[in-house]
Amino acid sequence: RRDGITEQEQATSVLNPAALENLREIAGGDTVFLVELIDAFLDDAPRILAGMRQALEDGDAALLRQSAHSLKSNSAEFGAMALSKLCQEMEMIARAGVLAGALEKLTRIEAEYAKAQAALETAKRQL
């Protein structure tokens, strides 16, 4: 419990439970496979975030757009809708090629990913 909120309640506030239920259906109810899907996302996302940071440092708007798009789609699949929305905003910033403000957006994306990561770890324990 944090501030009177259970881990379950916190996970639900960060993740859309319908998305996880959809993944459970896709996995045919196979909990091991669902955990593997979650783990694959949790393994891949930090690499994407690092790529976004490197693209930003290099001024590479195309790579930043591609990385933001990838994380946007992946996070939506797992129900991390706030993270997905921030990535969509970053994708639009990069598409415009004007990277002013992108570092602040990346910091927000990283913070939201940390919340999603914790929520997915909680969700895995409850499968």
Give the SS3 label for residue 107: helix
The answer to whether 33 touches 27, Cβ cutoff 8 Å, is yes
Determine the structural domain holding residue 89 and report its residue range.
Answer: 7-125
pTM for the full predicted model: 0.90
* CA atoms of 108 and 39, how far apart (whole Å): 22
Task: Work out how many domains the chain is built from and give that number.
Answer: 1
User: How large a percentage of the chain has pLDDT more than 70?
Assistant: 91
Residue 77 included in any domain: yes
Please give the average per-residue pLDDT across 17-43, as a whole number.
95
CATH number assigned to the domain comprising residue 33: 1.20.120.160
* CA atoms of 39 and 32, how far apart (whole Å): 10
* CA atoms of 76 and 19, how far apart (whole Å): 8
Q: Within 13 Å of residue 123, how many CA atoms lie on the same side as its CB?
A: 32
pLDDT at 1: 46
Residue 1 included in any domain: no
Please give the average per-residue pLDDT across 52-68, as a whole number.
98
Residue 104 included in any domain: yes
Residue 7, pLDDT above cutoff 90: no
Residue 14 included in any domain: yes
